[in-house]
């Protein structure tokens, strides 16, 4: 394999963009052609991220300066709300480009739901209609043929991987799902924010956006589709003092099933999946098991309350939760082995 697929990374001076660059450097087919930034445009990548001082990379340029005719595939790590117009311009001028978005801009199918949660009308509804939801394990066939893939948010990735097989098999009541989620601070991006200062996040655990996080409608969209009925979930995220990693605990009511049935449904759904691992009985997922890797680990245990079960899933928010899943989708879109460039094991401890 030669490095013959030219990629561009929008938002390469951000955390997801940088993790994409890290993965692309190790990918046998990706040639990094263009890296864009906003406030950091004009700098060398190594000035912004010293860890890239050992490799040759293009300098950071603005989106407007980029020559998209030199690019085959675009990975987009821009803040939500900024991607729609840029995607529209890039794809209008270069319809052959494959666009893999890591932002939230093309995930929600219903424009009214998008407006409610993101506060403005969608600016590229035609593209929204075309976009394929990029939860690889559940949308593989559509992703293969897609031009525009909307990678899921980090919380929806971990949550949906651990709930969809149970909903599909009718083993849990979808109207009684409670998700308690915790994320490392890189989930909030690299720009300066008071709540992610070390002094404020370093020694505490903080809930945020309680009862109103914009990932709830994304989770509900996908669960409702599989359940065949409109579902509302209780979803509470927390910021936890670590850089990467995410752990989602879901409290579930079973519909006459046992925990063994739940485990069997997971094993059945993910038997051939390279990146989803069902923890053996007695093993509890922890973020250290997946740190720096593209794996999702899922564990299931019986609650002491009869008829209830607890499911725990972990991912690295920057890998399976964004850049890694984006590369997994790229591999599908280019008919490559899905694991290409993604076989790194967890950084443990």
Ligand X SMILES: CC(=O)N[C@@H](CCC(=O)OP(=O)(O)O)C(=O)O
Ligand Y SMILES: NC(=O)C1=CN([C@@H]2O[C@H](COP(=O)(O)OP(=O)(O)OC[C@H]3O[C@@H](n4cnc5c(N)ncnc54)[C@H](OP(=O)(O)O)[C@@H]3O)[C@@H](O)[C@H]2O)C=CC1
Question: Closer CB to ligand Y, residue 18 or residue 257?
Answer: 18
Which one of the listed residues 151, 154, 248, 296 is annotated catalytic?
Answer: 154
Burial class of 104 by CB neighbour count within 10 A (0 to 12, 13 to 18, 19+): buried
Give the whole-angstrom CA distance, residue 276 versus residue 279: 10
Question: Closer CB to ligand X, residue 127 or residue 169?
Answer: 127
Binding mask 151-180 for ligand Y (x = CB under 6 A): --xx--------------------------
Q: Which DSSP letter does residue 120 get?
A: S
Report the nearest approach of ligand Y to the CB of residue 326 (Å).
Answer: 9
Report the nearest approach of ligand X to the CB of residue 154 (Å).
Answer: 4
Give the whole-angstrom CA distance, residue 193 versus residue 190: 9
Question: Closer CB to ligand X, residue 241 or residue 307?
Answer: 241
Looking at residues 190 to 249 of the shown chain, list those that interact with ligand Y (rule: CB under 6 A). Answer: 190-191
Contact window for ligand Y (CB under 6 A) among 36-44, 65-73, 163-171, 335-343: 36-44
Report the nearest approach of ligand Y to the CB of residue 318 (Å).
Answer: 5
> What counts of helices (H) and strands (E) characterise the chain?
11, 14
Site for ligand Y (CB under 6 A): how many residues? Answer: 30
Residues 219, 153: contact at Cβ < 8 Å?
no
Beta strands in the chain (DSSP E): 5-10, 30-36, 60-61, 73-76, 98-101, 132-133, 148-150, 178-183, 206-207, 234-239, 246-253, 276-278, 296-302, 308-315
Give the whole-angstrom CA distance, residue 168 versus residue 163: 9
**Is position 325 an interface residue for ligand Y (rule: CB under 6 A)?**
no
Contact window for ligand Y (CB under 6 A) among 101-109, 160-168, 279-287, 288-296: 101-109
Looking at residues 56 to 95 of the shown chain, list those that interact with ligand Y (rule: CB under 6 A). Answer: 63, 77-80, 82
Say whether 151 is catalytic: no
Question: Closer CB to ligand X, residue 180 or residue 303?
Answer: 180
Query: Of ligand Y, ligand X, none, which one sits near residue 239, judging by CB under 5 to 8 A according to partner kind?
Result: ligand X
Contact window for ligand Y (CB under 6 A) among 12-20, 193-201, 217-225, 227-235: 12-20
Spatial CA neighbour of 342 closest among 269, 307, 296, 293: 293
Q: Identify whether 349 is preceded by a cis peptide bond (ω within 30 of 0).
A: yes
Binding site for ligand X (CB under 6 A): 80, 103-104, 153-154, 183, 187-188, 237, 239
Rounded to the nearest angstrom, the gap between the alpha carbon of residue 39 and the centroid of all alpha carbons in its chain is: 24
Question: Closer CB to ligand Y, residue 247 or residue 265?
Answer: 247
Report the nearest approach of ligand X to the CB of residue 101 (Å).
Answer: 9
Contact window for ligand Y (CB under 6 A) among 64-72, 296-304, 307-315, 317-325: 317-325
Query: 228: which residues sit within 8 A by CB, 6+ positions away?
Result: none
Q: What angle do the packed helices 15-25 and 324-333 form, to 10 degrees?
A: 50
Residues binding ligand Y (CB under 6 A): 11, 13-17, 37-40, 63, 77-80, 82, 102-104, 153-154, 186-187, 189-191, 317-318, 321-322
């Amino acid at each position: 394999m030669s490095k013959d697929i030219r990629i561009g990374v929008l938002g390469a001076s951000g955390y997801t963009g940088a993790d994409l660059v890290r993965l692309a450097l190790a990918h046998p087919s990706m040639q990094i052609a263009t890296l864009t930034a906003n406030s950091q445009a004009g700098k060398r990548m190594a000035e912004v991220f010293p860890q890239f001082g050992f490799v040759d990379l293009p300098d950071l340029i603005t989106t407007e300066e980029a020559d998209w005719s030199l690019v085959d595939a675009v990975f987009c790590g821009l803040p939500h709300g900024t991607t729609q117009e840029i995607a529209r311009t890039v794809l209008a001028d270069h319809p052959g480009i494959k666009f893999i978005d890591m932002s939230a801009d093309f995930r929600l199918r219903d424009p009214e739901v998008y407006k409610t949660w993101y506060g403005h009308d969608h600016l590229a509804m035609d593209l929204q209609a075309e976009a394929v939801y990029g939860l690889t394990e559940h949308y593989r066939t559509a992703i293969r043929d897609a031009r525009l893939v909307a990678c899921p948010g980090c919380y929806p990735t971990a949550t949906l991987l651990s709930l969809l097989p149970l909903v599909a098999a009718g083993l849990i009541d979808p109207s009684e799902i409670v998700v308690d989620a915790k994320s490392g601070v890189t989930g909030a991006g690299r720009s300066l924010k008071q709540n992610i200062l070390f002094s404020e996040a370093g020694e505490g655990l903080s809930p945020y956006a309680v009862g109103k996080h914009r990932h709830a409608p994304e989770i509900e969209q996908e669960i409702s589709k599989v359940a065949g009925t409109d579902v509302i979930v209780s979803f509470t995220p927390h910021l936890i003092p670590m850089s990467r990693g995410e752990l989602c605990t879901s409290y579930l009511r079973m519909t006459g099933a046992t925990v063994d049935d739940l485990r069997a449904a997971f094993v059945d759904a993910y038997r051939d999946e390279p990146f989803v691992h069902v923890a053996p009985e007695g093993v509890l997922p922890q973020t250290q098991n997946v740190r720096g890797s593209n794996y999702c680990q899922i564990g299931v245990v019986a609650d002491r309350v009869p008829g209830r079960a607890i499911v725990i899933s972990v991912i690295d928010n920057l890998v399976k939760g964004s850049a890694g899943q984006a590369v997994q989708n790229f591999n599908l879109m280019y008919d490559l082995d899905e694991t290409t460039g993604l076989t790194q094991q967890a950084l443990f401890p």
